Structures are given as C-alpha cells and as structure tokens.
Amino acid sequence: MKKNNISPLFAYFLGLIIGRGHIFPDSFSIAIEFSHHNEFSYGIAYCPNCGFLATKNKDILFCKKCKKPVSPKVRNVYNQPKSTTKSLVSSIIPFLQEEINAKYEIISSKSMTLLVMDFKNNKKQFELIRRFFGKENSFDRFHIPKKIFSLSKKSKIEFVNGLLDTSGFTSVGGWLNRDGKKGYGRMRAYFQIVRNWTLPVEIDNFLRKEFSLPIHTIDWGHPNIRDGNLRDFFNTRPTSWSREHQVKIFPEYYKIFHFRIEHKQRLFEELIVHNQKADFVNKEDWFPPGPISKKRLKPYHPGENDLRIPSLARRHFDAFWQINLAMGCSFLKKFIEKLKNPEVFSLIGKDENFNLVKLEKVLDAERKKITEEIYLQHKKETKEKKVKIKKAEKRIEKDLYSPIANYLKEALIQKYEENIETFDTSSVNLNAFLKDKSGNLLDLFTYCERFVIKPDVVGFLLDSRKMIFVEVKVTQLDLKSLGQLLGYCLVANPIEAILISSEKPSTSLIKILKAKPGLLSYSKGKRIKIGIWEENKIILLI
C-alpha cells in the first residue's frame, strides 16, 4: 500500500484510527477502541395500542400519544460487548486482513473492546501508517489526513464507515421533539469526539464538502454549551461540561454509509426507518446559522477560562456555531467573509450595521444580568449545600492539593535549582492535563502522552524534563494507598514520588515496610517516600 494509492479498505482503517486509535511506536502496535459505555443498548419502542413512539420517563416507557405505560419488551435489545466482538471476528478483522498484515488480538471489557494490531513482523507497513499521523499517536490529537480529500468516492465512504464504527453512536435517547408529516420524534445519531477540539469541525466540513450532507448541530464539551444555564455548576458538578463533543446527524441522510459493528448498524437502520416513516421535510442543517436572540444569550460560566479548553475556544460563546467558527469551520468563514458586517454577524448571527463596540457592551451587560439572576436564584441553595458538606467532612482531600503544590514548588526549587512548576492534577488524567495545558509544558513533556494516570499533585522539572508525583490522603496511609501510587510510578517512572497524608501512617504499613523496604521501590534506585502534612509542610517519615 503506497501512501498515494489508498484503497477503500485502507481508508476504512484510517477512519478507525482517527476515530479511536492509539499508535504505539515502541511496540510497533496499534490499538483501536470500540467503546460501549453500557452493556446493552435498546431499539425504538412503539406503543402496542396506537403505534406511537414511546419514550422513557423516570425509567418507565410511556406512549407519547396515549400516555399509557409500554412494556420494555417491545424494544430490540442489543448486547454491545458481544455484538462488537462478533463483528470484529466475523467482519472487521477478515476485511482488514486482506491488506493489513498484522497479528490481531481482541481484548474486551464491559465498557470497551480493544482491537490490538501487532506489526512487529511488518514494521514497513507500520511506518507507512504512522506517516499519515505525523508525530501524533492518539485519537485525541489526530486530524483527517489531507490525502483523504483526493480519494475515490468509494474510499471516502469507507473512511466515514471507519469513523462511524469507532466514534459513531446510534441511540434512541437522542431524539428531537419534532412533528413529521406522518409521525413524531426525530431520531439522531452522532459522532462522539473525545478531547479532540479540531476533529468535530473537520468531520462536519468533510461531510459537507464531499457529500453535501446536513449536520444538525455540534454539541461542544464547552461550559457555555453543555452547562449553558450553570445548573451543573451549582449542583456540585462544576466541570461536568468537560466531556466529549458530539456531531449530531439525522440518519436518513446517511444511508450511503454503514457500520460494520452489527448492533450499531441495526439500530442505525431502526432510526432511518422511523424518520423516513415520520417523513420530516426540513433538513435542519445548522449551516448557515440563524440569529442569536436576546433570549438565547448565555450567562458567563466560570469554566470559560479553564485550561482544558484550547486557547481558540477559551472564552465566552452564546451559540455552538460560534465555536465552530473559532475552531476553523471553512464554510462559516467563507459565508461570513461575504457579508457586509461579518464581525456583527459573528456576535449575534445577523448581518446588520451596528456599532461593534456598543453592541459588545450591550451584550456584555445583558449576559451579566442573566448571570446575576442565576447566581441569585442559586445563592440560598448553595449556602445550604456548603454547610452540609462542611458538616459531613472535617477536612476533604481536595483542600490539601493546592497548599501541597505550593509548598512542593518552593521545596523543589531549593533542591533541584531549576525551573519548577507544580500543579493540582487530580481532576484529569496526566496526559489530558498536559494536552489541555498546551504550550510549553506539553512540548517539554511529550513522553507523558501515554500516561493515563491521575496523581493528585505533579511537580514538573522544566529543565531536566522530569516529574515528581504526590499522592495525597486524609486518612491513615495503608497498603492500598501505597499500591495506587506504586501503580502510577510503575507507569511513569517519576524522579521522585511521595505518599502524603494529614494523618500518620497505619502501624501495619510501617510494619510491612520495615519487613520489606523493597516494596517502596518502583525503578532502579527510586523509592516512594512516605510523608505527613503537618503545619503546612511535608515531613518525610520514610
């Protein structure tokens, strides 16, 4: 397979990798994730009495028309892990084997099936595949290769099929409240894109350009979109917005594509049949976008400046399509360039001649007003919650991260005499933290890309590019807490690792470590240190 001669099969393979692939250059292998969060997925339920759509309300199915409860037995049930393995064994692997010469292995759990392809005996093909992805090794950083745009129609379709098998999801739960000519409820499928902020727009633009297909919306994992009314923020889930992005589509326009994962294809067909029967006239394409009315303005969200959001989108947005524009949507860019008032349009979706400075002031004042109203509404509730939390826990672990990170920074500067940064990394995996952080840190610590681990505090030695892990507890340290940090150390081999608690270690841990001090070592000459957090400093005990 030459790079400039991509077969439909190879295009499908590239689609799989871009959707959920990991490349492991050290072991000449590629792993492709087929995720299925729940063991079972369910087909569409129709009322046996009137044939109308039945949907869930508090876990019980009710007919949307006659309002009667409907037995869940009327739906098809799909066992996702089983169907995925079956599809891999009977369809996907035999298909790929025609051209991709590797050792294939399936590893499965209830939430994910992994296809691992070992290229140790075919390093040439492995290197050729790698070239399509430049220096990137994981799906959260991949782009659609430019070469895909010049392929035959058949190959482009297979490329999308590959994307669908890994990142495409069919779910009855994504229906929209719409009336068709002959039915109700419009079903949607979606591409689920994890942590990759460029791929949603790339997929949108690819489908639009190459197939003239409509996209309903992009549901961005951005605070203004996912938590636009601050509900989660006030419900002790302040970062719930930090989830995957979803490119939502209406399946009836996507019949040229098909899933090779059997249960996804069957459900996809169910959704198509439903929408076709209901007969919806409007394509409901988000492009070109409509105006943002005063009602649609969003309150300011404290998460807008979160470092997990790439700098291009790290600000306030009132509509999802504004993020599309920020993330480089070429269709929108061209559309806006032709307007008389492009800057005004990008603010309110209207091509009108407003004074831009005044308009921004008006919008800002309006958003502030909405924000204030929401804060007032939740103020009482939040106060009550805070009291409850304080009563429930004397000292929560989270409270220690920041002071420990600050103390560690000073201590490490003294010890290592180089530039040091320390962070509370507890909320996100280390690899994602670095990617979200972007800039210098990511460039210096590219070797951390594989570290899907979550130490509480990490110190970064910026000159020597080394790391120090700290695991924090507020209970007595025991073998379990040691095991957790040991796991992180075995994965990432930091220069130092410290297990700290505000309490003294349990006597059994001390006894164990006296008898077997080697238990603390995780690499040649490196051992976990045990410490106590007392009077705002770390006192090392072992």
Partner 1 sequence: MEKKEFTILIKDWLESFLKKRYSNTHDILRVIIPNTRLSKLSDSDIKKCKNYSAWDFKPDILGILKNKKNAQIELVFLNRSISALSLKEIGEIYCYSKLAGSRISFLTSLRGVSNEVNILLVNDSMRDRLLKYTVNGQIVIFSWNEEEKKINKNSIIPTDKREFLLQ
Footprint of partner 1 on this chain (CB under 8 A)? 22, 24, 26-27, 29, 31, 33, 35, 85, 105-114, 116, 429, 450, 452-453, 479-480, 482-488, 490-491, 508-509, 511-512, 514-516, 518-519
> Measured from the CB atom, is 168 or 289 closer to partner 1?
168
Say how far apart CA 448 and CA 121 lie, in whole Å.
27
Minimum gap (Å) between residue 427 Cβ and partner 1 = 14
> Measured from the CB atom, is 339 or 519 closer to partner 1?
519
> Measured from the CB atom, is 212 or 518 closer to partner 1?
518
Bridge partners (DSSP) of residue 138 are: 22
Inter-residue contact 20 to 166 (CB < 8 Å) = yes
> Measured from the CB atom, is 137 or 161 closer to partner 1?
137
Angle between helices 8-20 and 153-167 (to 10 degrees): 30
Q: Which helix (H) or strand (E) holds 513?
A: helix 507-515
How many Cα neighbours within 13 Å face the side chain of 138? 15
Say how far apart CA 11 and CA 154 lie, in whole Å.
9
> Measured from the CB atom, is 385 or 504 closer to partner 1?
504
**Residue type at 25 in one-letter notation:** P
- DSSP three-state, residue 275: helix
Tokens 């045990």 label which residue? 530
> Measured from the CB atom, is 112 or 413 closer to partner 1?
112
> Measured from the CB atom, is 113 or 275 closer to partner 1?
113
> Measured from the CB atom, is 8 or 505 closer to partner 1?
505
- DSSP three-state, residue 397: coil
Minimum gap (Å) between residue 119 Cβ and partner 1 = 13
Minimum gap (Å) between residue 108 Cβ and partner 1 = 4
> Measured from the CB atom, is 35 or 406 closer to partner 1?
35
Q: Report which of 406, 457, 400 is spatially closest to residue 433, judged by C-alpha positions.
A: 457
Minimum gap (Å) between residue 216 Cβ and partner 1 = 28
First to last CA, the chain: 57
Say how far apart CA 66 and CA 47 lie, in whole Å.
8
Inter-residue contact 490 to 522 (CB < 8 Å) = yes
Minimum gap (Å) between residue 309 Cβ and partner 1 = 22
Bridge partners (DSSP) of residue 217 are: 248
Strands 103-108, 112-118: parallel, antiparallel or unpaired by DSSP? antiparallel
Question: Following CA atoms 428, 434, 435, 440 in sequence, which dihedral angle do they give, to the nearest 10 degrees?
Answer: 160
Q: Which two tokens stand for residue 265?
A: 């294809």
Minimum gap (Å) between residue 371 Cβ and partner 1 = 35
- DSSP three-state, residue 308: coil
Minimum gap (Å) between residue 454 Cβ and partner 1 = 9
Minimum gap (Å) between residue 479 Cβ and partner 1 = 5
Minimum gap (Å) between residue 445 Cβ and partner 1 = 17
